[in-house]
């Protein structure tokens, strides 16, 4: 019998009705684990406790509550005294709002061909944000000043969308990471060309944990102008934040957030989650654990006949090439995504709640199916 949450006393009778059509019931197996995305994970208990803490009573809506008022202080501890955070609902929204806030209608954004804003956001930056994306092929998802120069040209040519922003992902869609000196070199190069730098930090915490760096060292200190900071993949229930690092480069972000349908009325419940995540070291604990589980998985499958790791494991993503028939059998037992149908490459993601037992069970299944 699945667990049920029973409603409280009814106003009419004071009686507590038993589970019925409107009662919330547990409809999944809590022991089930998947490796398709860190979005599959639940909410960290400390974050759930924070949401409950903020729940009682009334607070002013649309960011005028006590928790949202404190949020800039939380972010400034990591990103410096000029940082200003604008909570939004999701990662695509964060990227679209951030990029709109630093571009005009005739300007464009340079990004890797594999970037999330190009591949996995259903065209939202272009269709909703009205931006032109100028993509560059990369070997490992990372841009360099030389690669950027393939698209950084044509200023003053009215026939070409004017390059204005370089967008980096940290960690990248291929699980690779930029060191702080690499980001600084890109920022110097972009700024020398009159461009700005946006960082898609959906998994910035994982990159910082992998490199042993502070969040500021990979962003503010390196010269990044605006950041999409990810919380959902790091233990939040929902919510990301656009973090303005260079206020001089941004115009009208409050209005852009609203017209992009990313202004939360009950913003306190996003703000308090970020406070739980960032005021202490929860962000780092969660990211470091997810990274460690990915490293454990990579080591466990290394040497299995027919399994070839296709990218270095630097964060919480493991990429491997498997025979198609092995993948098909394995996906009947565990959820994960095929990354490239042509090559047989797959992606396995770990999360803050992935356990060693989860990894060992998955690795054992991979070994069994590879031998099958």
Reported as a single tens digit per residue, the pLDDT across 236-278 is 999 999 999 999 999 999 999 999 999 999 999 999 999 999 9
Decide if 277 contacts 283 (C-beta within 8 A).
yes
pLDDT attached to residue 1? 43
How would you classify residue 242: left for phi > 0, otherwise alpha for psi between -120 and 50, otherwise beta?
A: beta
The secondary structure of residue 136, as a DSSP letter, is E
> What percentage of the chain exceeds 90 in pLDDT?
92
Indicate the angle between helix axes 268-278 and 282-301, nearest 10 degrees.
70
Residue 184 clears pLDDT 60, i.e. is over it: yes
CB < 8 Å & 24+ apart, contacts of 62-70: 62/263, 62/264, 62/265, 62/267, 63/87, 63/263, 63/264, 63/267, 63/271, 65/267, 65/268, 65/271, 66/268, 67/267, 67/268, 67/271, 67/272, 67/275, 68/267, 68/268, 68/271, 70/271, 70/275
* N- to C-terminal Cα separation, the chain: 36
Residue 59 clears pLDDT 60, i.e. is over it: yes
Q: What is the CATH number of domain 46-278?
A: 3.40.640.10
Region 59-81 average pLDDT: 97
Give the least confident one: 22-31, 94-103, 105-114. 22-31
pLDDT-derived band at 16, boundaries 50, 70, 90: low
pLDDT-derived band at 140, boundaries 50, 70, 90: very high
Boundaries of every domain in the chain: 46-278
> If we measure between CA atoms, which residue out of 254, 206, 253 comes closest to residue 225?
253
pLDDT attached to residue 235? 97
């Amino acid at each position: 019998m699945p667990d049920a949450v029973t409603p409280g006393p009814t106003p009419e009778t004071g009686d507590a009705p038993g589970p019925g059509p409107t009662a919330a019931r547990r409809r999944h197996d809590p022991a089930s684990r998947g490796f398709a995305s860190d979005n599959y994970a639940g909410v960290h208990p400390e974050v759930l406790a924070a949401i409950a803490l903020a729940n009682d009573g009334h607070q002013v809506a649309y960011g005028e509550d006590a928790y949202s008022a404190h949020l800039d202080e939380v972010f400034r501890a990591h990103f410096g005294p000029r940082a200003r955070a604008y909570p939004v609902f999701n990662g695509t929204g964060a990227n679209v709002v951030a990029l709109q806030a630093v571009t005009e209608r005739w300007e464009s954004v340079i990004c890797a061909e594999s970037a999330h804003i190009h591949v996995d956001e259903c065209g939202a930056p272009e269709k909703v944000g009205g931006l032109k994306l100028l993509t560059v092929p990369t070997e490992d998802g990372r841009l360099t000043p030389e690669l950027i120069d393939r698209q950084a040209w044509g200023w003053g040519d009215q026939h070409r969308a004017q390059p204005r922003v370089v967008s980096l992902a940290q960690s990248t869609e291929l699980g690779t990471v930029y060191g702080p000196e690499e980001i600084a070199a890109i920022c110097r190069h972009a700024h020398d060309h009159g461009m700005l730098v946006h960082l898609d930090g959906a998994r910035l915490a994982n990159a910082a944990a992998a490199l042993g760096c502070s969040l500021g060292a990979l962003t503010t200190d390196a010269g990044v102008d605006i950041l999409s900071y990810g919380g959902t993949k790091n233990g939040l229930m929902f919510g990301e934040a656009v973090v303005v690092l260079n206020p001089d480069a941004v115009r009208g972000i409050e209005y852009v957030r609203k017209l992009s349908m990313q202004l939360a009325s009950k913003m306190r419940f996003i703000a308090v989650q970020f406070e739980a995540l960032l005021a202490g070291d929860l962000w780092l604990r969660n990211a470091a654990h997810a990274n460690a589980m990915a490293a454990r998985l990579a080591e466990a499958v290394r040497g299995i006949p027919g399994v070839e790791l296709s990218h270095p494991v630097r964060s919480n993503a493991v990429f491997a090439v498997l025979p198609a028939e092995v993948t098909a059998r394995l996906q009947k037992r565990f959820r994960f995504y095929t990354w490239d149908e042509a090559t047989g490459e797959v992606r396995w993601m770990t999360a803050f709640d992935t356990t060693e037992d989860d990894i060992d069970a998955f690795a054992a299944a991979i070994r069994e199916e590879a031998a099958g």
